[in-house]
Amino acid sequence: MKFEEEVVTGVHRPEFATLFRAAIVERGVTMTWLRERLADGGNPIAAATLSYWRSGARRPEGPRSIAAVEEIESLLALERGALVSLIGPTHRVGPIGRVQYPLAHDRLEQLTAETFTGLGAAVLDPARDVSTTAVTEVGADGFVISRTTRTLLQSTSGTITDVPYIDMTPGAPTPAPLFSMLGGGRISRRYSHPSGEVHGAMMELERPLGPAQTAMIEWKLEYPPGYPGTSETGHGVARRCRDLMLWTKFHPDALPTWLEEVQETPDDTTVTPLCLDGATAIHQVRQGWGPGMLILRWGYDARE
């Protein structure tokens, strides 16, 4: 069904509000029902905000609102993008700050730039990690088995069709880990720097992202048997992110004797000792943080 822009009391209502209102009537649901389903799905929106959207008094703005609109499309049995495409290019993308290389290492920056070029990507692409959770599995030998990353991605300008991702082993040349896509797209290209210290993959999104639009992507890095042992994990962002969480899970037969958190930014590096306190996993959280790299390192001897 196609809903045209309507005129009420001489005022043109935005097409977004028209379709939103008509879809609610067509589906036969109440605003209370919609608000409760959004909250159940992890996208809570105030009743007043939904009313503003329905009346056309306001339009959705920001990553959280866009994510909620994408869920509304599903709840109201609309085609994907039916409402998001009508929001228009003027909604804000939130505070993203200046894009910067996350580490203060000129050599690594050069290797990273060359890897992006090898992937056919811009050195600093116009994508932003709004919210990222990375889960690392550590095996009985104390080394990383895999890292699964789930990211709410946002376009900061233009239209994005591909997103590059890199894995670094500074000072330790290694073969490429195994990249795989779990959702939101596919791996279209891979490239390893001749140094063996930076490996990259290009992720082709399921659908293009216009300015300020968002999408969820999930991918996995695996380190097969025979791969040089890795006893650290982390995630870096080139722009300010809303949420970043690292969850590292250790094998119960290989709990480290020491842990340390390393926070690297373009300006400084901070190292903080951590403790499992009897647990088998540890998480690190940052909010409104970046650019920078958040790292966890561990070992099994006395810490020097």
Could you tell me if 143 and 230 are in contact, meaning their C-beta atoms sit under 8 angstroms apart? yes
52: phi then psi, degrees, rounded to nearest 5 = -60, -40
This prediction has a pTM of: 0.67
- Locus of tokens 């994990």: 233
Structure tokens, 255: 């709990």
18 Cβ neighbours under 8 A, 6+ residues apart: 3, 4, 5, 6, 56
Band the pLDDT of 194: cuts 50, 70, 90.
very high
Q: Between these two residues, 163 and 102, which has the higher pLDDT value?
A: 163
**Cβ-proximal residues to 260 (8 Å cutoff; 6+ apart), any chain:** 271, 272, 273, 274, 296, 297, 298, 303
Domains contained in the chain, CATH given: 7-86 (1.10.260), 106-299 (2.60.40)
Query: Quick check: 30 pLDDT over 80?
Result: yes
* pLDDT tens-digit series, residues 182-191: 999 999 999 9
The dihedrals phi and psi of 117, each to the nearest 5 degrees, come to: -60, -40
Q: Which two tokens stand for residue 8?
A: 């009420």
